Structures are given as structure tokens and as C-alpha cells.
A = this chain, B = another copy of it.
Amino acid sequence: MRKIAYIDNFSEWEQSFNFSITFTVRFSETDAFGHLNNTVPFTYFEDARVAMLTAIDYEIDANSQLLPVVADIQCDFIKQVFFKETITLYTKINTIGNTSFEIHYMAKNEQREICFVGRGAIVQINKKTGRPHQLDAALIKRLNTLK
């Protein structure tokens, strides 16, 4: 596999995930090239991220004063994905900062081949000010269980 900047040791990295959910590719998620459109993995990333954070009671709630918001996100496409394939998307927290944390993503098909990988930072913002807001110690503790 080609070198990807955010993956140091690939085989170690591949073994480092504990959380995953699965997706079966919808017909509406394909495009005229006959494969999964390149915009859809970001939808999967969001859904997997929400599931992972929900598992540690970090709810995505629009009524909350503190919102976890995507600061940046990226995806590297390794192998094409087609209609009806079932994709297992692995996620983990890579690093945790003061107001943000970084998530890594790895998608495998049913043959256990890596189809796409990604990473991105989530920043906790205060809804009123729109500014980053410190992650509290209890949350950091829970986030650490996802590393």
C-alpha cells in the first residue's frame, strides 16, 4: 500500500482498532462510475464516529452548549467499493488535546482488504461563542478508553 502520512507503521496501525460498525453500500451511494461515490465515506466516518462517542456517553446533541464539530477530515482511497458490499469501518482515538482530539478510520471489505482509510480532528466548541472549549477531565478519561 502507498505511504500515507498519518500512518507510521502500517501493520501496527491496522491492529490498533477496537471499535467498529458495518455499512452495506446503498444503491443511492453509488455513482455513474458504478462504485461508491467518493463523498460517501465521510458519511460513514460521521456515523461511525457518532456510534463510538455514544459508546462513551459523549452524545451528539444539538441542544447541548458544547458541540463536537469536525475541524478537518480526510480520506485515502485504496480499493474501489461497489454496490451491496458490506464494509466494516474501524475507528479509534489517536491523540487527545486540550479542546480537540483526533480520530483514525479504517474500512475493510468482506475479503478483509482495506478499501479506504482516514483521519480527522474533532474540536469541542461552545455553541454561543463559536470558540473551542476545553475538554474536561472526566471526558478525557473516557476518550482515553478509545485509544
On A, residues with C-beta under 8 Å from B are 26-28, 30-35, 37-39, 42-43, 46-47, 50, 54, 60, 62, 67, 69-77, 80, 83-84, 130
Contacts and interface: CB of A to CB of B under 8 A. Distances in A.
**How many identical chains are in the complex?**
4
Nearest to A37: B28
A145 to B, nearest CB: 21
A86 to B, nearest CB: 12
**Residue in A37, A46, A69 with the greatest tally of chain B CB atoms within 10 Å:** A37
Contacts of A32: 27, 30-32, 34-35, 62, 83
25 contacts: A26-B47, A26-B50, A27-B31, A27-B47, A27-B60, A28-B31, A28-B46, A30-B31, A31-B31, A31-B32, A32-B32, A32-B34, A32-B35, A32-B83, A33-B69, A34-B62, A39-B39, A39-B42, A39-B43, A42-B42, A62-B83, A71-B76, A72-B77, A73-B74, A73-B75
